[in-house]
Amino acid sequence: MELCDLSAYELALLLKQRKISAIETLDACLQRIEAVDGRPGALNFSDPQPDDSHRVHAFITLTAERARAQALEIDRRLAAGEDPGPLAGVPFTVKDIFCVKDTPTTAGSRILADFVAPYTATPVARLEAAGAVMLGKTNLDEFTYGSSGESSAFLPPTRNPWDPRRVPGGSSGGSAASVAAGEAPLSLGTDTAGSIRQPAAFCGVVGLKPTYGRVSRHGLIAFASSLDCPGPLARTVIDAALMLQVIAGPDSHDATAARVPVPDYISALEEGVRGLRIGLSPDYFRITFPDPETGALELQPLPAEIEAAVRQAADRLAALGAEIIEDVPLPNTRHGIPAYFVISRVEAASNLHRYDGLKYGYYDPARVDDVHKLYRKSRDAGFGIQPKLRILMGMYVSAAQYAEQYYTRALKVRTLIRRDFEQVFDPHGSYRLDALLTPTTPTPAFPMGALYGNSVLMQYADQLTVPANHAGLPGLSLPGGLSADGLPIGIQFLGPDFSEDRLLRLGRAYEQSTETEPWRAVRPKVLAG
């Protein structure tokens, strides 16, 4: 096994024991990137080349020299007998939606193609302060608007390491793919409707959406400010816990970063699941899809192999002493996407008004005599089709004459979704659940081009992840087996506010109980040689 295939936990331990250096680890990751990643995403995409179709293309910007300087500093501090931090020498990638001082920060959009961030986002700064080494910025759906990675203005788009003909998921597709392909053991992503958990499921890695307010959003380019959550992607539950430990907590630069103590996530990991009450809900075993002809919403059963993965996980947890509670009602789950279409668009439209061609970002070079013409020309050339779609819908559903009918109503439906969860997690209620166990996604990774362009079907890819965003709850996705096509299937734990420690504990117990399963030994196709 190469150094780049080790976990963050193992790498940090070996470094502290002086068995490896930060430079050796960095070089191993850079060699892996060289071997599997292919050309990075770029604005001026030339014709597709044969090599593109079997490469990962996780990156927009590789910051190898910056990483080398950081790794050398870690090795120097270690040699000097200093403590270089809990993640010393551990490489990580960053979704290119976070500002990192003096590096290009594009949001996957032409409008920010030349933007160089003047400051560093809090989660990135905390990772670097803990000794982690940033390798570069990963590709994503433009402004995080998508569930496949295909809407980035920077092409070629990221491909799924398990089958490069398929999408890695989105919007943190580059992050998930970089971790799955062994390019880095950790990545920092964001989750607004499932953008950490869905690509984690598609790429066979662990993805954690923390409670809203658990991790600071300072330095995150905003999509929907009441829903956006930064969080870890990793190959193991321990690594996700290590990363959350570093990035969680209040921040004087973010008034929504909650003043809630951060527990010791690591020490709780091995406490087991005996006595925990885990719920299964029929509302997560049927899925909604719009009829392609009429648009009418129809209920369908979940694909059998995905339901089987969830039920097998429940059986394993039961064998470990957890109590499985069937038929837990979460009837408002199916309203998650209609409400999201409204709330996220209103917030996105508001957040995107700042891009005007004047202060920073793309501007139209034609000399015009009217500032409004400059706005229109710059925004038309700078934004791709997905931001435009979100701006227009956001303006429509929040207009004075429609706001009560759409926006206010969606915010009330959000209350119903939140109440569903409050009732089943209420320690004095009928269900008294410690967590829910659900599938992460309605399908495994779909082929590239299969949904892109159909904005409704694409949004429904998030239907099992978005309720947690509406409710603000934490959600953990982890690998739960392989489909008949050899694609990863994700299972998801959901819990009450700030219960990340419990979700990680459940995830760790499940992970340990499946360690010897044959599917655990299967590697992504791009690594198969």
Ranges within 261-320 binding other proteins (CB under 8 A): 290, 295, 297
Task: Please say which residue, 126 or 316, places its beta carbon nearer to other proteins.
Answer: 126
Helices (H), ranges, 7-143: 8-16, 22-36, 64-79, 122-129
Which residues in the 413-452 window bind other proteins by CB under 8 A?
Answer: 413-416, 418
Q: Are 67 and 91 in contact (CB under 8 A)?
A: yes
Please report, as a single letter, which amino acid is at residue 16.
K
Give the footprint of other proteins on residues 163-182 (CB under 8 A). Answer: none
Grouping H, G, I as helix, E, B as strand and the rest as coil, residue 248 is strand
Tell the smallest beta-carbon distance from residue 23 to other proteins (Å).
Answer: 30
Contacts to other proteins from residues 450-469, by CB under 8 A: 454-456, 459, 469
Could you give the residue ranges of the DSSP H alpha helices within 80-167? 122-129
Task: Report whether 438 contacts 491 (CB < 8 A).
Answer: yes
> Footprint of other proteins on residues 7-66 (CB under 8 A)?
none
Residues 213-232 that bind other proteins (CB under 8 A): 213, 226
Segment contacting other proteins by CB under 8 A, of 77-85, 140-148, 277-285, 338-346: 338-346
Residues 227-250: b if buried by 16+ CB within 10 A, e if exposed: bbbbbbbbbbbbbbbbbbbbbbbb
**Binding piece for other proteins, criterion CB under 8 A, among 71-79, 199-207, 256-264, 300-308:** 256-264
Q: Within the chain, how many helices (H) and strands (E) appear?
A: 15, 13
Residue 515's φ and ψ, nearest 5 degrees, are -55, -35
- How near is the Cβ of 141 to other proteins at its closest, in Å? 15
DSSP code of residue 405: I
Nearer to other proteins, 92 or 493 (CB): 493
Candidate residues 10, 183, 251, 420; the one interacting with other proteins per rule CB under 8 A: 251
CB of 363 to other proteins, least distance (A): 4
Min CB(3)–other proteins separation in Å: 36
Give min distance, CB of 482 to other proteins, in A. 32
Nearest residue (CB) to other proteins, 204 versus 472: 472
Q: Residue 500, interface with other proteins (CB under 8 A)?
A: no
The two three-digit tokens of residue 323, written as one number: 């109590």
Q: Are 226 and 472 in contact (CB under 8 A)?
A: no
If binding is defined by CB under 8 A, does position 125 make contact with other proteins? no
**Measured distance CA(285)–CA(262) in Å, rounded:** 33
Q: Which one among 285, 396, 431, 519 touches other proteins, defined by CB under 8 A?
A: 396
Q: Which is nearer to other proteins, 69 or 371 (CB)?
A: 371
Q: Which residues are identified as catalytic?
A: 95, 171, 195
Residue 338 found at the interface with other proteins (CB under 8 A): yes
Q: Whole-number minimum distance, CB 473 to other proteins, in Å?
A: 7
- Sites for other proteins among residues 347-376 (CB under 8 A): 349, 356-361, 363, 367-376
- Tokens representing 92 are 């990580």
**What would you report as the CA-atom Rg of the chain, rounded to the nearest whole angstrom?**
22
Report angle CA 193, 451, 156 to the nearest 5 degrees: 90
For 381, half-sphere exposure in the C-beta direction (CA atoms, 13 angstrom radius) is: 14
Task: Convert residues 76-115 into a mask of x (bound to other proteins by CB under 8 A) and - (unbound).
Answer: ---------------------------------------x
Q: Got the DSSP string for 319-370?
A: HTTPEEE-----GGGGGHHHHHHHHHHHHHHHHHTT--SSSSS----S--S-
Give whichever of 19 and 259 is closer to other proteins, judged by the CB atom.
259
Residue 99 CB, shortest distance to other proteins, in Å, is: 11
Looking at the Cβ atoms of 59 and 115, the one nearer to other proteins is 115
